[in-house]
Copies of this chain bind each other. A is one copy, B any other.
């Protein structure tokens, strides 16, 4: 739900920020690394998280996921089916996770059982930007299927995230998109201070580089 009320907007963001700090410290106390995966519908967030979790488990790292969605258990089920322990977090109506929803999910998790928590935000390239959850890193995942103008249209989320990931580079030709345009826009927007990583989760290309960037 949305409202343009400057005073209240600030209160909401302030309250979110406070709880995000609590989440951060709670996870740090338990030596947990955490990552917030933001991005539009169909960018491949679920598939990327599954792939990263597989690679982490192969290294003996204990990992779980929080599946954020407006409604339903689709992503939650995909995680569980892949062998990744998951916790479902439905927003009900809201188009993004917030720190308080994540706080509630963290309360369900036995924190001593995990080293890494991967959080999948609601599929949306606008709203999650405003709501840090208290993770170590915030990542934005986009896909070549979204066209080459994503960065130009959505400054906030690219500025508020630590790295960007351009997924599905294996089908650039099928969708007539040149990844170089997206990378150039990103570098221009961020002044070259942050990196955009190309990957194809399906072909397992570029995922190791992303994990290295996220210190996983």
Contacts and interface: CB of A to CB of B under 8 A. Distances in A.
A85 to B, nearest CB: 20
Copies of this chain present in the complex amount to 2
A106 to B, nearest CB: 20
Contacts of A71: 153-155
A161 interface: no
Contacts of A96: 2
Interface residues of A, number: 42
Given A3-B3, A74-B149, A74-B153, A126 B95 contact: yes
17 contacts: A1-B9, A2-B2, A2-B127, A3-B8, A3-B9, A3-B12, A5-B8, A40-B41, A41-B146, A69-B153, A70-B156, A95-B95, A122-B126, A124-B124, A171-B171, A171-B175, A174-B174
Interface of A: 1-5, 8-9, 12, 40-42, 69-72, 74, 93-96, 122-127, 130, 143, 145-147, 149-150, 152-156, 168, 171, 174-175
